[in-house]
Structure 1
């Protein structure tokens, strides 16, 4: 666990390929918003692959994110929890790094967060979603 007040950690030489799907990719939040919006609007993949990626199963009762459904590396919040607002997302965490993007299905409203801490709970994401989209997740 990291303690407050630690100096920044230079990870420019960090090999993130240890995270398998991370693919050793280093990107900005702006790049990730652009990529994510292509993922959610259907402009990244052919239609059949797009549908397959977003064919989701419930995560309720499991050990992963509550109030959500999971697809092929992506998630969407349960619309009953978000008051009917369709929100999709993607995210991940690796040593000293936590990132997520959440947005509307049409790609017109998207938020990305990167922090130099590791995932410890869903609270940060849920609070950002509430602040950005005005819907309460997890409450």
Structure 2
């Protein structure tokens, strides 16, 4: 699976998803009906695994409702790549207002961060320091107790 996203205009982003299948591929003739409701390329699969032939038709409609499209690229004997795109609003990157107003309340406050995961400790430490807090870090409960004794 591959995902690529790019800003296209006015705060909108287009995200492209693709899934590659290294199976038997799909002929050009069968590709034409692949996205039709109640249609399956290989009816023997329906008998063995169930299915109604609605999955790709519904997926295509959902992609279109989200401002995108869905298609397949395939050659017999060489597998297939299924693609779909969607268009979404770009999320704002500004800090929520409550952080800006509450930060002075946190400045110069002491905080003890206890976590056995070094990555978590580092991330939390950097975050609280950015709020103006003074961080002490411990990797275990025993280490935290020692910090509190100091």
Question: TM-score band (shorter)?
Answer: under 0.3
Scaled by the length of structure 1, the TM-score of the pair is: 0.20
**Between Structure 1 and Structure 2, which shows a larger proportion of strand residues?**
2
- Greater relative CO, 1 or 2 (CA 8 Å, sep 6+): 2
Structure with bigger gyration radius: 2
Scaled by the length of structure 2, the TM-score of the pair is: 0.19
**Between Structure 1 and Structure 2, which shows a larger proportion of helix residues?**
2
